[in-house]
Structure 1
Amino acid sequence: MTEPIKFDTKIAVLLRDDLAVWQRLNVTAFLVSGIAGTHPEVVGEPYVDADEVRYLPMFRQPVMVFEGSKEFMATAHERALGRGIEHSVFTQDLFATGNDQDNRAAVRAVRTAELDLVGIAFYGPRNAVDKTLKGAAKHH
């Protein structure tokens, strides 16, 4: 039996617990794209099936998904900032925008402590990400 692979880093997404299902899926997809786009080492090789059809590569490690209250979102964000953990954010305002330029402008218009966070994706040392998410529930 093969031992599970232990990664030194962790990819984790924290979603606000009052989002609709479609919002949770949309936010997760947007958030992790920032990690894939800035850390090519976390992306594996392309997939190929038995008929030699090629598929795009995916993350080479699991993505853990958690949920928390609006208050916990702010706490986790503060912890990430304090620990220097790289993260992407998705705010409530982004549901009303339709493109990257407007998304960035919506975040830029709000002070850090006042961001209405609905999702955060974290990438960093496993231990530090675990401490940042301490108290969050795994998404179900």
Structure 2
Amino acid sequence: MFDTKIALVVRDDLENWQRLNVVAFLATGIVSAAPEVLGETYIDAANRHYSRLSGQPMLIFAGGLEDLQRTHRKGLERELTLVPYVQAMFATGNDADNRAVFLQEEANAMNLVGIALRGPKKAVDKVIKGLSLHP
């Protein structure tokens, strides 16, 4: 059905509010990188218009820090679109500070709490192999 696949991987040791927050931010990153995933405007029976939603499913997986770091490494190797979210970003209150703390992360050992990826279906499947869907 789709040539591409979108997967969001979130740490399994986060509080529920943190997981939901990370998933929301990751989804916006995917849509920013691939606006073509957006469907058409929704119109209700009273002809009111609503914003578009992704026309492609986003599968959500859970894993530990090592799983996310492995996903990051393999995603880079396969040149997939990646959207990382690091632990330090929970302590900031704006986008500029998020980018500043992100820049301070060790590039090959980020303290990831979430990562989204998009790319060719087979490549994404190889990168997320072994991960379980979020419960």
Gaps of 5+ in 1: 1-5
Alignment partner of 2:18 out of 23, 37, 40: 23
Is 1:68–2:66 an aligned residue pair? no
Asked if structure 1 preserves the Cα contact closer than 8 Å seen for 2:33 and 2:81, the reply is: no
2:41 is aligned to: 46
Aligned-pair CA distance for 1:38: 2.3
Is 1:90–2:85 an aligned residue pair? yes
- Kindly provide the CA deviation profile for residues 18-55 of structure 1, in whole angstroms up to 9, marking residues without a partner as x: 01111111001101111111212111111011111111
> The residue matched to 1:113 in structure 2 has which SS?
coil
Asked if structure 1 preserves the Cα contact closer than 8 Å seen for 2:10 and 2:63, the reply is: yes
Gaps of 5+ in 2: none
> How high is the TM-score relative to the length of structure 1?
0.93
Runs of 4+ in structure 1 displaced over 6 angstroms?
A: none
> How high is the TM-score relative to the length of structure 2?
0.97
Aligned-pair CA distance for 1:79: 0.4
**Distance in 2 of aligned mates of 1:24 and 1:129:** 21
Number of aligned residue pairs: give it. Answer: 135
**Distance in 1 of aligned mates of 2:97 and 2:81:** 22
RMSD (Å) for aligned C-alpha atoms: 0.8
**1:1-140 mapped onto 2 (5 Å cutoff):** 6-140=1-135
> The residue matched to 2:123 in structure 1 has which SS?
helix
